[in-house]
Amino acid sequence: SDPFCPAIEGLSSFPGKVIHSTQYRSGKEFEDKSVLVVGAGNSGWEIALDLANHGAKTSIVVRSPVHILSRGIVNVGLFLLKYLPLSIADALMVLLSKITYGDR
């Protein structure tokens, strides 16, 4: 399938480099540059991490709220699901993430 690029107002006049994740190879060329990653799918997160590891000033923009959880918190959630209904385990996970990371 063809890569999807959202219509972003003003993008055509942006003087910097614009690439799709399918064109991304390494964050090395973006060292010390400000980079915006659009989207929080698996590719977006992996690219953002790679950019940060290569010294880019990385930001991510998403259209909907996302929950970012550490592996440890995910493991707690999996444990809770063994003993609690999904709705209760989910509510506890949201509370735990707010306590751990804050509500930003």
Residue-level pLDDT at 104? 62
Percent of the chain with pLDDT strictly greater than 70: 99
pLDDT > 80? residue 103: no
pLDDT in tens, 11-49: 999 999 999 999 999 999 999 999 999 998 889 999 999
Choice between 100 and 1, residue whose per-residue pLDDT is larger: 100
pLDDT > 90? residue 94: no
What domains lie within the chain, and their CATH numbers?
16-61 (3.50.50.60), 71-101 (no CATH)
Across-strand partners of 104?
none
Query: Contact, 37 vs 59, CB < 8 A?
Result: yes
pLDDT > 80? residue 1: no
Instruction: Tell me the residue type at 10.
Output: G
Instruction: Tell me the residue type at 54.
Output: H
User: Distance (Å, rounded) from C-alpha 53 to C-alpha 30?
Assistant: 10
pTM (two decimals): 0.70
Question: Worst-scoring range by mean pLDDT, 29-43, 61-75, 84-98?
Answer: 61-75
Residue with tokens 């550490």, as numbered in its chain: 70
